[in-house]
Structure 1
Amino acid sequence: MFPSADRTGNHPWPAEAYPDRLAPIIRSGDDGPEIVQARWGMPTPPQYLPASGRDSGVTNIRNTSSPHWRRWIAPAHRCLVPIEAFSEPGKDRKPVWFEPARGEPMMFAGIEVRGWTSIRKVRDGETTDDLFGFLTCPPNAEVGAVHPKAMPVILRADEWQTWMSAPWDVAKMLQRPLPDGTLRILE
């Protein structure tokens, strides 16, 4: 599953991705998979928006049975987020980085929405953006030792196509931690 079109506009990929910033995702396009830049942070459920209406976005999605997320779990809204490593906050709040133990390619299981209008930053006013977030699940042993609450849903190469195209009753089975021993702390 490789993108047939690069729609990033020759923008360099960021070395690190942060919430509310652009990052590359692979999504379904009119002519097959395409790679684009999207803003990290899906729309916040309305009941959690502040009175100002500013929506800082939701970066991680765990409860896919929520009515707010159900509208975006179909294949048309699924995406892959390419990663080489990811971090979780350690005990001292400094990031602890994880990478695949055997160097295999991995991607986060994401969902995306195109052309969402909201106020992300008051100084920018209303903007219309393509947005994404990724699913989380309970942690495996390596991540759980640092962050016992959750970890991103990480897909291996043989799962990418299933995530992007399978019916939800099949794709939802991928919302689970990687097996213990498949990640290591990046020194």
Structure 2
Amino acid sequence: MCNLYTMTATVDEMRRMFGPFEGDTTNLPPFDEIFPGYMAPVLRRKDDGGLKLERMKWGFPGPPAAGSRAVTNVRNLASPFWRNALQQPSRRCIVPVTTFCEWTGEVGRKQKVWFGLTPEHESPLFAFAGLWRPGEGGPFMAFLTCAANRTVGEVHPKAMPVMLRPSDAARWLDSPREDACRLAQPFEDTLMQRVG
């Protein structure tokens, strides 16, 4: 389960990658470590179809049956907990990312392993497929996970975040549920690498 990522791209890089948007259009500070419970930049559709940049808290408020602990990753797309958000394109979002971390080693001696895109990409920026919801104190977000590819699986074999190419962003945000959920596939190994 991914519980740490970075987003160090500029607003201009985000515009080049995902298109124009409204919202916090001044330069964002670098987000060198984003953990669950932290605020992070997120892009979502507005009512008029354009994109809006907002900061959202990472982690949906959890169900009472689970002790109300925040839910950060969307693992089971058939779960009733996510059904409403997946069904409504307006509740989908893209979470800009430059690298993400999985942990290796035993408890007490764990080490970070960072993953990102290969160097031939124009920018290290990509996105996770996310869901968001309004709530007390502001909006919340979580992102989808899927089976791990070989690159991530060598460190964390259970799962990896659903990574979107820029060309996939509109499909995730706008398509009917079944088509959007087809994007929940392991990212191509040839396009990513360990970066630290």
TM-score computed with the length of structure 1 as normaliser: 0.85
- Is structure 2 residue 92 aligned with structure 1 residue 83? no
Query: Quick one: distance in 1 between partners of 2:94 and 2:31?
Result: 16
Query: Quick one: distance in 2 between partners of 1:142 and 1:131?
Result: 29
**One-letter amino acid of the structure 1 residue matched with residue 78 of structure 2:** S
**One-letter amino acid of the structure 1 residue matched with residue 85 of structure 2:** W
**How far off its partner does 1:157 sit?**
1.1
- Is structure 2 residue 164 aligned with structure 1 residue 163? no
**How far off its partner does 1:90 sit?**
1.4
Q: Which residue of 1 aligns with 2:115?
A: 98
Give SS of 1:132's match. Answer: strand
Q: Which residue of 2 aligns with 1:124?
A: none
Query: Quick one: distance in 2 between partners of 1:41 and 1:3?
Result: 26
Query: Quick one: distance in 2 between partners of 1:158 and 1:5?
Result: 20
**How far off its partner does 1:3 sit?**
4.0
Query: After the TM superposition, which segments of 4 or more aligned residues of structure 1 sit over 6 Å from their partners?
Result: none
How many residue pairs get matched? 171
Deviates more, 1:68-77 or 1:89-98: 89-98
Are the counterparts in 2 of residues 106 and 154 from structure 1 also a CA contact under 8 Å? yes
Query: Quick one: distance in 1 between partners of 2:150 and 2:72?
Result: 23
From the superposition, tell whether residues 61 and 47 of structure 1 become closer, same or farther in structure 2 (CA, over 3 Å): same
Are the counterparts in 1 of residues 103 and 110 from structure 2 also a CA contact under 8 Å? yes
Residue 60 of structure 2: which of 4, 26, 42 is its match? 42
Residue 84 of structure 2: which of 51, 54, 71 is its match? 71
TM-score computed with the length of structure 2 as normaliser: 0.81
Per-residue CA shift, 1:66-113, capped at 9, x if unaligned?
A: 111101112110000101111111124221000101335410000000
Residue 16 of structure 1: which of 27, 33, 37 is its match? 33
**One-letter amino acid of the structure 2 residue matched with residue 6 of structure 1:** G
**How far off its partner does 1:158 sit?**
1.0
Deviates more, 1:134-143 or 1:98-107: 98-107
**One-letter amino acid of the structure 2 residue matched with residue 81 of structure 1:** V
Give SS of 1:181's match. Answer: helix
**One-letter amino acid of the structure 1 residue matched with residue 112 of structure 2:** P
From the superposition, tell whether residues 58 and 8 of structure 1 become closer, same or farther in structure 2 (CA, over 3 Å): farther
**How far off its partner does 1:129 sit?**
2.2
Are the counterparts in 1 of residues 63 and 69 from structure 2 also a CA contact under 8 Å? no
- Is structure 2 residue 189 aligned with structure 1 residue 146? no
Q: Which residue of 2 aligns with 1:62?
A: 75
**How far off its partner does 1:10 sit?**
6.3
Query: Quick one: distance in 1 between partners of 2:76 and 2:82?
Result: 8
More strand by share: 1
Deviates more, 1:95-104 or 1:131-140: 95-104
- Identity score, percent: 36
Are the counterparts in 2 of residues 109 and 154 from structure 1 also a CA contact under 8 Å? yes
1:95-134 alignment, distance < 5 Å: 95-101=112-118, 102-103=120-121, 105-114=125-134, 116-117=135-136, 128-134=137-143
Q: Which residue of 1 aligns with 2:3?
A: none
